[in-house]
Structure 1
Amino acid sequence: MVSTGIVRKLDELGRITLPIELRRSMGILDRAPLEIIVDDDRIVLKKYQPEDIFTGETDDLIEYHGLKVSKKSIEELAKIAGITK
């Protein structure tokens, strides 16, 4: 990890503001979803990218019960279950 030297305080609601220069350099647009990851004693913010729960692929996703599954995984699961043509 690389330190940016930027220090921000939380406001009374627990929010922080990411500097515009940092958002621009990382390609983070206004209102972009960020994933919050806890790693030991670190809090990591990551640009959110939905992915297939089985393979991690990001193409052709379908939401099922709040989870993302790619069409390719669905086709492979259908073959395994013996329900394809």
Structure 2
Amino acid sequence: MKATGITRKVDELGRIVLPIELRRNLGISIGDALEIFTENDAIILKRYDAVDDLLDMVNRLKDRVVFEDCGKMKPILIDKLAEIEEIIKSGTNETKASK
């Protein structure tokens, strides 16, 4: 973990303000969703990325199909999940290219 030297106080509603320079450096914009993690005594904020969640879900499903007895459906399911993964990835690339 990298120290920033920045401190902020928690207000009466439990909020903190993320400094603009930190948000700019990390690409966090107004309205962006942040995921909250805890590790030991630390709170970790990460920009939420639904695409990463979808890709994780597809990979978990592919792993499950490989280990389950799906009969004749196994190769079809694996192919379809690979197609879904490619669609998600290509949508991400198109979005990045348009920015």
Is the shorter-chain TM-score for this pair beyond 0.5, marking a shared fold? Answer: yes
C-alpha distance in 1 between matches for 2:31 and 2:40? 27
SS at match of 1:81: coil
User: Identity of paired residues, percent?
Assistant: 45
- State the one-letter code of the partner of 2:26: M
Specify the alignment match of 2:70 in structure 1: 81
Aligned residues: 70
Q: 5+ unaligned residues in a row in structure 2: which ranges? A: 78-99
User: Which residues of 2 match residues 1-85 of structure 1 at below 5 A?
Assistant: 1-50=1-50, 51-52=53-54, 57=55, 69-70=57-58, 73=61, 77=65, 81-82=70-71, 83=73, 84=76
1:45 shift after superposition: 0.5
TM (normalized to structure 2)? 0.57
Q: 5+ unaligned residues in a row in structure 1: which ranges? A: 59-68
Find the structure with the greater CA-based Rg. 2
More helix by share: 2
Q: Which one has more relative contact order, counting CA pairs under 8 Å at least 6 apart? A: 2
